[in-house]
Amino acid sequence: MIKPVLLWSDLLFFLLIAATFAGGWLAARTEHLRLAWRRVGRSRVAMAAATLLAAFLLIGVLDSLHYRERLPGDGENYAVEVRSALDALLTGLRTRQERTYSAPLATHLFAKESLEGDQGRDFPRLKHGGAHLGADTAGHGADLLAKTVQGMGVGVVAWLVLWLGFLPARQAAPHLAWDAVLATLFALCLVAGPVLLLAQGYHVLGTDKVGQDVLYLTLKSVRTGLLIGTLTTLIMLPAAVALGLLAGYAGGWIDDVIQYLYTTLNSIPGVLLIAASVLMMQVVIDTHPDWFATAAERADARLLALCAILGITSWTGLCRLLRGEALKLRELEYVQAARALGVSGARILWRHILPNVMHIVMIAIVMDFSGLVLAEAVLSYIGIGVDPNTVSFGSMINTARMELAREPMVWWSLAAAFAFMFVLVLAANLFADVVRDAFDPRASR
């Protein structure tokens, strides 16, 4: 039996997904939003990027379903480690640990070691990588080739199943760029199939210094990246929207105070403010070890605090934009009319101004995402990012940075982290571009 664990970040993440669905439902009922999203849906680039993002999101959701395993024996005792559904799916990858570095798809360790007995120095055989080949690794190349071809076959079959699954959706919404979705899925299947088969017997992306599978680490990093990219915006959004609209609509001393607030925050160099806040947060967490039941909870608290800190330092831009927009909208006839009819200020803001700045908010959400994912890597590198126990792209790069200096070079953990991050950020950037063009009233023609 297992005991489900709901970390705070999981809760917020699921809330966010629910909010996205609710927002989608609302958008479908509103004419101009539906039109804008239809423009996004017609774009091949956007649909391909959305498919990739959905794949990342699937990994992130699986990795957010946390639980604690029950320990063998009597009584209600549960393991200290918090695992996720993704961990359970990837049990093989997680447990097949080697002693140290090994290259992608290798059968031997990366460095020579003194062997037992009197056999001199040689590359020791891996415990798990290519273990099914036996002591003699003559069939290594052929095995790799066979598994790759088989994997591609599996991928094509999986794609065909998906293709069938998409048939009803395509009939329901024929104007969307489904061909781009299917093409992206085809590419994904073609890569995932071989990886899936090869991962049964090899370390597809090699192993790191302590022998952990790099593929497993990269997949685990996806959740951290997604959380930082989305939760940060979610946390700062209410403050940015409320203050920005209030400043623009109310004017007077309220405007002055809010402007002063964001100018002051803005004038502190971002990285330094983040660094100072993270340092302080670290002191709080370290001096109160009794707040957290498990290491996972502590790491989770640090992740959330990092999101909050990033949010506090990044809401000013959106706030200023919204203030300007509210200033403009305040003078428009329909707002004047509402005021003349005696509608209260709060209601005008909520009913008449907020819906008309939603496109700016929307654009800000998608545009911020990629920057935040990249920022996480840099912050973790400087040592003010996520908890050292949290796997993230930044911490992977951080632990791998000295490996380039080795001779011969250990390149795969760096390459894997950078490649995954590149795909995620590129997809987000492309998607954001199309969304911006679709929602920007100036661009619509």
Partner 1 sequence: MLAYLIRRLLYALPILIGVNVITFALFFVVNTPDDMARMQLGVKRVTPEAIERWKAERGYDKPLFWNDAAAGTGKATETIFFTKSVKMFALDFGSADDGRDIAREISLRMGPSLAVALPVFALGLFAAIAFALLLVYFRASYLDFAGVVLCVAMMSISGLFYIIGGQWLVSKVWHLVPISGYAEGLTAAKFVVLPVLVSVLAGLGSSARWYRTIFLEEYTRDYVRTARAKGLSERLVLFRHVLRNALIPILTGAVVAIPTLFMGSLLIEAFFGIPGLGSYTIDAINAQDFAVVRAMVFIGSALYIVGLLLTDISYTLADPRIRLQ
Question: Which residues lie near partner 1 (CB under 8 A)?
Answer: 260-261, 263-269, 271-273, 275-277, 279-280, 282-284, 286-287, 289, 370, 374, 377-378, 381-384, 393, 397, 401, 404-405, 409, 414, 418, 421-422, 425-426, 429-430, 433
Q: Any residues with CB less than 8 A from the CB of 73 and at least 6 apart, and which?
A: none
Residue 303 CB, shortest distance to partner 1, in Å, is 19
Nearer to partner 1, 33 or 258 (CB): 258
Residue 277 C-beta: closest distance to partner 1, Å: 6
The nearer residue to partner 1, 45 or 195, going by C-beta atoms, is 45
Shortest gap between Cβ of 275 and partner 1 (angstroms)? 5
State the CB neighbour count (10 A cutoff) for residue 355: 13
Q: Tell me how crowded residue 82 is: count the other CB atoms within 10 A of its CB.
A: 21
Looking at the Cβ atoms of 84 and 221, the one nearer to partner 1 is 221
Please compute Rg for the chain using Cα positions.
25
Nearest CB to partner 1, comparing residues 335 and 373: 373
Strand partners, 78: 70
CB closer to partner 1, 141 vs 289: 289
CA distance 314 to 332: 29
Distance CA 150, CA 196 (A): 10
CB of 377 to partner 1, least distance (A): 5
Among 175, 107, 92, 98, residue whose Cα is nearest residue 142: 107
**Least distance (Å) between residue 390 CB and partner 1:** 18
Give the single-character DSSP code of 131.
G
User: Which lies closer to partner 1 via its Cβ, residue 134 or residue 269?
Assistant: 269
Q: How many CB atoms lie within 10 A of CB 120?
A: 8
> At closest approach, how far in Å is the CB of 408 from partner 1?
12
- CA distances from residue 251 to 35, 339, 340, 345 in whole angstroms, order as listed: 33, 15, 18, 12
Amino acid present at 430: L
Q: State in angstroms the smallest separation of the CB of 120 from partner 1.
A: 30
Matching residue, tokens 């093409």: 183
Nearer to partner 1, 191 or 284 (CB): 284
